[in-house]
Structure 1
Amino acid sequence: MSLSSRLASSCLVRRGAPGFSTSALRAASNRAVVYTKNGDPTSVLTALTHPKLPSPPPSTLNIKFLLAPINPADINVVEGVYPAKPQLTSSLTQSGLGSADTPVYVGGNEGLAEVTEVGSGVEGVKKGDWVIMTRPQAGTWSSNKNVSPRELLKVPRELDGFKLDEVSGATITVNPATAYNMIHDFTTLQEGDWLVQNGANSAVGQAVIQIAAAKGIKTLNFVRNRDNFSELKAQLTSLGATTVLTYDELADKSLRGKIKEWTDGKGIRLGLNCVGGKDTTLMTQLLGQDGHLVTYGAMSKQPLSLPTPMFIFKNLQAHGFWQSRWYQQRGPAEQGELMKKLVQFMSKGQLSPPEHEIVTIGGHESDETATQKVREIMSKLAAGRFGKKVLLRMEEVSSD
């Protein structure tokens, strides 16, 4: 038996503790991907079946998750290297894993869910509505969950005849929202203005390209050099990218002259950074007077070093952006307006869902099989064998 099988089997043994029978497990309908301690996702994540949710208590509601992405930050959370920490859960089972004796973390931060039952005292949400979670690390790698209405936000299933698809709804919370807010919150860009960004092929980067193009804003996009660069350039251009270059070209002293021609001498006032390191230092030097550099990631894991003359002579302003903080600081009305704007872009064909692959954890599969499948996904992600965003579909557990 493999190590992962032995670990999964040990979890199954703990769940079979007195007070929670095997027959009860077979009749249970919910499942979640959980862990008890931080570590390598390929070894600490476990699929846990737990009883069907009762009717929601007052001021709460029950939801069924339709799709939940596995984002890079989610993996960092499991590893214990991400600033946002999930809360331990002790109410999944009566004894064993997921109980007060052995509380667990439920993985996942982003996801689309459907309201299945509404408790008394809840207003503004009804059965059948689609919702997303706004509380960080809400545990979206689940089939079903009982939540407070304060933790979620309703998204329009249909807007002006446009029907939102599940993938777009499941991926709307983080990447498109981050892109939209970074474009709008730090400076005012008009049609014909330019912005510059690195990590342009990331999910956020692609959303930036599409939203900017829809508003007539031109984009200078940097990506890592690769064998299929021409294909990537064509893909980003098809999304609306104005210019796509490699980080190698940042060191070319003639680049500034070319950019001055492209922008008709108008300075670039917004730079978006998710990489860090020396490439970001060089990119920052492309910003003009009163430019803003917004950092939302550090993919290179290198320090961010900014040129002092940019601050003194060009009045550079540097900011950090975290979409989770944005949700915490904004009320439901502003959050809802953001969702509406993003869906409007989608309805006009101006914002498309990311390339993706849906992995289903079937309701007929045992917890051991589901555990192995989840860990295999994490192993492939670590090895870079998924070229697309991965989304989990957690089916309710079959009773037969």
Structure 2
Amino acid sequence: MYCIHMSTMSKMKTFRACQHLIKSLFNEQVFRTPLLRRGPGQRNYSAAKETFAVMYTEHGEPGKVLEGKILPLPDTVGPEEVFIRLLSAPVNPADINMIEGTYPVKPVLPTIVGNEGVGEVLEVGASVTTLRQGDWVLPDTPGWGTWREYAISPAKEFRKIPNDIPVASAAMLSVNPCTAYRMLTDFVDLQQGDTVVQNGANSAAGQAVIQIAAARKINTINIVRNRPEIENLKTQLKDLGATHVVTEEFCRTPAMKELLKSIPTPRLALNCVGGKSSTELMRLLANQGVMVTYGGMSKQPITVPTGVMIFKEIKLVGYWMTEWTNRNKGSPLRDKMFDDLCDLIRDCRMVPPPCQLTPLRNFQSAIAQSAEKFSGRKQLLQMNCISAD
């Protein structure tokens, strides 16, 4: 079920410019803004007095501890506050980990779920000068709680972003694309023609790495788990700009050595898996190469071969987007990062991963489907949206 937001002709022209590529990659029209129109009995937003929100009061399995609740909204918008209508929010692994209580960020309970998402400003307080009605915003605080329909919060809690990009791109902008951008920028001075190797290449972050690297004319070797539809996955990632896509099993064959002869040896490795997969990445690195670890999907420790550590003099570092953001809230580097990423989106050189849209009130279905093995689709919650049919 998909909805289209017919806000301005210029916005639709931007979307049309990317439509052909999007259809060829995913055969889905999920990258436009949802049509926000009233259903039977639904209040006009200017009169909204309550909001649906997904909450939990204790940590545990999402299927057991999450509840959908109707919460009252304040009667007025304070001088320093803004009234936000949430448009869309993804289901991220960090959201699940926070619900389970295994994530480093632990909000005070009870709390509303959701670290990432995009909203539209409906009303601003009398003293607010940084935002105005119609602006799109991202929460600037980890664990802010995006799985809700409306919110009235201090304006300082939000970051303004352009509203001329597809809503799916905006909703998934602040975590994975930013993580990919920083890892490709901060650890190795990569030049055109250099090579990056990564595992978990079909993840949302991995797909962002492929596209940013391609825009910078950097080669990528992309390692994925074998699966029944492996050739389809390889085609999808190559359409995004991947240089090579290989399975973990292929990495341990003589054919991998031949592949490495065709491009420069990787100077940077990006690890989101851990375990044996991370060991393979280290073996593929050039002398004095760097491996950045930003995830541990296998839940296995990183084992470092002594010879690789000593004789290749590789470096191992960790990266966490939340910590970088906390250190760089007002940094020009952060402004440039968002500007660069939005430019790539407008140029259709960065598209979000394939998505499945689910109404917010069907959140349990989205969570269940996000846990399916090899699903290949990101779950994207849609707020205030009914069928366009």
TM-score by length of 2: 0.83
How much does 1:76 deviate? 1.2
Superposed CA deviations along residues 341-399 of structure 1, whole A, max 9, x for unmatched, are 101011111101221112124xxxxxxxx4xx3223323333448531111123299xx
Structure 1 residue aligned with 2:88: 67
Cα distance change on mapping 1:385 and 1:245 into 2, 3 Å = closer
Structure 2 residue aligned with 1:388: 377
Cα distance change on mapping 1:229 and 1:383 into 2, 3 Å = closer
Whole-Å separation in 2 of the counterparts to 1:355 and 1:385? 13
The 3-state SS of whatever aligns with 2:134 is coil
Q: Is the 8 A contact 1:62 1:118 kept in 2?
A: yes
Whole-Å separation in 1 of the counterparts to 2:87 and 2:226? 36
Larger radius of gyration: 1
Q: Is the 8 A contact 2:227 2:374 kept in 1?
A: no
Q: Can you give the 5+ residue segments of structure 1 that lack an aligned partner in the other structure?
A: 1-26, 89-103, 158-162, 362-369
The 3-state SS of whatever aligns with 1:233 is helix
How does 1:43-192 map onto structure 2 within 5 Å?
A: 43-88=64-109, 104-157=110-163, 163-192=164-193
Amino acid at match of 2:228: D
Amino acid at match of 2:265: G
How much does 1:126 deviate? 1.3
Whole-Å separation in 1 of the counterparts to 2:289 and 2:68? 48
Return 116-125 or 239-248, whichever deviates more.
116-125
User: Percent of aligned pairs with the same residue?
Assistant: 41
Name the Cα RMSD after superposition. Answer: 1.9
The 3-state SS of whatever aligns with 1:290 is coil
Structure 1 residue aligned with 2:262: 262
Whole-Å separation in 2 of the counterparts to 1:348 and 1:376? 33
Aligned: 1:335 with 2:334:
yes
Amino acid at match of 2:212: I
Structure 1 residue aligned with 2:60: 39
Aligned: 1:354 with 2:353:
yes
How much does 1:122 deviate? 2.4
Structure 1 residue aligned with 2:280: 282
Q: Is the 8 A contact 2:178 2:321 kept in 1?
A: yes
Cα distance change on mapping 1:396 and 1:147 into 2, 3 Å = farther
Structure 1 residue aligned with 2:215: 214
Amino acid at match of 1:80: G
Superposed CA deviations along residues 238-263 of structure 1, whole A, max 9, x for unmatched, are 1111011100122225523430x212
Superposed CA deviations along residues 190-224 of structure 1, whole A, max 9, x for unmatched, are 11110000001111111111110111000001000
Superposed CA deviations along residues 313-346 of structure 1, whole A, max 9, x for unmatched, are 2221111111111111113343332111101011
Whole-Å separation in 1 of the counterparts to 2:107 and 2:148? 14
Whole-Å separation in 2 of the counterparts to 1:189 and 1:201? 22
The 3-state SS of whatever aligns with 1:208 is helix
Amino acid at match of 1:140: T
Structure 2 residue aligned with 1:93: none
Cα distance change on mapping 1:375 and 1:308 into 2, 3 Å = same
The 3-state SS of whatever aligns with 1:357 is strand
How much does 1:147 deviate? 2.3
Amino acid at match of 2:338: M
Amino acid at match of 1:313: F
The 3-state SS of whatever aligns with 2:286 is strand
Return 173-182 or 307-316, whichever deviates more.
307-316
Whole-Å separation in 2 of the counterparts to 1:246 and 1:69? 27
Cα distance change on mapping 1:219 and 1:396 into 2, 3 Å = closer
Amino acid at match of 2:276: K
Cα distance change on mapping 1:226 and 1:48 into 2, 3 Å = same
Whole-Å separation in 2 of the counterparts to 1:151 and 1:336? 16
Amino acid at match of 1:33: V
Task: Choose the corresponding residue for 2:310, options 301, 309, 312.
Answer: 312
TM-score by length of 1: 0.80
The 3-state SS of whatever aligns with 1:268 is coil
Superposed CA deviations along residues 40-95 of structure 1, whole A, max 9, x for unmatched, are 1111111111223332223222211110111111111111111111233xxxxxxx
Whole-Å separation in 2 of the counterparts to 1:225 and 1:384? 12
Q: Is the 8 A contact 1:53 1:145 kept in 2?
A: no
Whole-Å separation in 2 of the counterparts to 1:378 and 1:124? 35
Q: Can you give the 5+ residue segments of structure 2 that lack an aligned partner in the other structure?
A: 1-47
